[in-house]
């Protein structure tokens, strides 16, 4: 493989004990929704200010090894004139980029979704790489309903993830493969496990068909959870169900599994990660994070779009990252949470 040593270096820099990935790649509609909750208008400048705040949080690199950025952010600068990717790498946080173009209904497959963005991907990756990105991320989404996801939907989404991952490795960027089985609905944890297992099986079959080197990718899956409208599961139950599925589906060659938070609150996501690391201490993979809202939420509400609140917001982000660092080591306790 042409870029093997480059890919190996990126994996080495990202897959480290007690460090995880910060997802800061919200699309324009998503970040507008987050900002609206704190009465801040989403403009190019407010988005730059927020994402600059994230990467300039002193000490964040102790707990965070990678950051997923939105395309716009790659070309933006911090107040001291560094590009945001440069500021991230100054703390040994590897900059990466979300490359998919969002989901649409899958043709002739009612209820299933498919993600767009393969057209021109290789050329876009060359541009992103020149701007400092060293890894990429692509998300496929699976909604659980009575007849969904269908087998056709599962296979079509797996094919997209594998094609994307192959292009990334061919261009020298580590692919983060993100198949997210949503927790929306009233399904129980067993149904979520059943669908997640089917999805993961299909994804790894497709990755094999497309000659993707598993040692040079990162998996970003959902945890196995009951639906939002079902009873809440305790962390040990979540960990047991999630590990059972992963052990059945994910080859040991994959270096790291970085869970998405998927609508969990910050404390819930941290407690579940801690249980996963306690129960899965003998797993062949690192069990880490690629959290967005579960890392950013407390900091966002401390910031409120005001420059004078930047230190408080950075302190909140650093504390949330530290708690997740402890959870990656299986050493987190709920009583460590800051007072409300």
Catalytic positions are: 178, 220
Nearest to 292 by CA among 316, 269, 326, 325: 269
Nearest to 207 by CA among 260, 274, 143, 160: 160
| Beta-bridge partners for 137 | 98, 176
Q: What are phi and psi of 240, to 5 degrees?
A: -60, -45
| Beta-bridge partners for 103 | 115
Q: What does DSSP say about strands 113-115 and 103-105: parallel, antiparallel, or unpaired?
A: antiparallel
Listed in sequence order, the residues at least 6 apart from 55 whose beta carbon sits closer than 8 Å to its beta carbon are 67, 78, 84, 87, 88, 91, 93
Q: What are phi and psi of 330, to 5 degrees?
A: 75, 25
d(CA 26, CA 33): 10
d(CA 339, CA 268): 16
Task: Name the helix (H) or strand (E) containing 174.
Answer: strand 174-181
Nearest to 54 by CA among 318, 309, 293: 318
């Amino acid at each position: 493989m042409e870029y093997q040593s480059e890919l190996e270096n990126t994996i080495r820099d990202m897959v480290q004990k007690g460090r995880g990935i910060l997802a800061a790649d919200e699309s324009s509609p998503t970040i507008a929704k987050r900002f609206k909750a704190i009465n801040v208008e989403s403009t190019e400048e407010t988005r730059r200010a927020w994402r600059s705040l994230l990467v300039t949080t002193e000490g964040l690199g102790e707990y965070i090894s990678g950051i997923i950025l939105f395309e716009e952010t790659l070309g933006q600068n911090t107040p001291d004139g560094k590009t945001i990717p440069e500021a991230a790498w100054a703390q040994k946080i590897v900059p990466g980029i979300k490359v998919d173009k969002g989901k649409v209904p899958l043709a002739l497959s009612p209820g299933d979704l498919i993600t767009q963005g393969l057209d021109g991907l290789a050329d876009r990756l060359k541009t992103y790489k020149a701007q400092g990105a060293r890894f990429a991320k692509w998300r496929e989404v699976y909604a659980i309903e009575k007849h969904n996801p269908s087998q056709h939907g599962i296979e079509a989404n797996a094919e997209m993830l594998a094609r994307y991952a192959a292009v990334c490795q061919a261009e020298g960027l580590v692919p983060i493969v993100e198949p997210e089985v949503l927790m929306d609905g009233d399904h129980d944890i067993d149904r979520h496990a059943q669908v997640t297992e089917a999805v993961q099986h299909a994804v790894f079959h497709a990755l094999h068909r497309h000659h993707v080197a598993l040692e040079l990718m990162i998996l970003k899956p959902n945890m196995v959870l009951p639906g939002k409208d079902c009873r809440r599961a305790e962390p040990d139950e979540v960990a047991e169900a999630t590990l059972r599925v992963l052990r059945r589906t994910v080859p040991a060659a994959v270096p790291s599994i970085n869970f998405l938070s998927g609508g969990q609150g910050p404390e819930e996501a941290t407690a579940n990660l801690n249980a996963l690391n306690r129960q899965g201490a003998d797993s062949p993979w690192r069990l880490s994070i690629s959290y967005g809202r579960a890392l950013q939420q407390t900091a966002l509400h401390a910031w409120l779009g005001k420059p004078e609140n930047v230190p408080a917001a950075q302190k909140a982000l650093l504390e949330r990252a530290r708690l997740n660092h402890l959870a990656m080591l299986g050493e987190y306790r709920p009583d460590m949470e800051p007072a409300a």
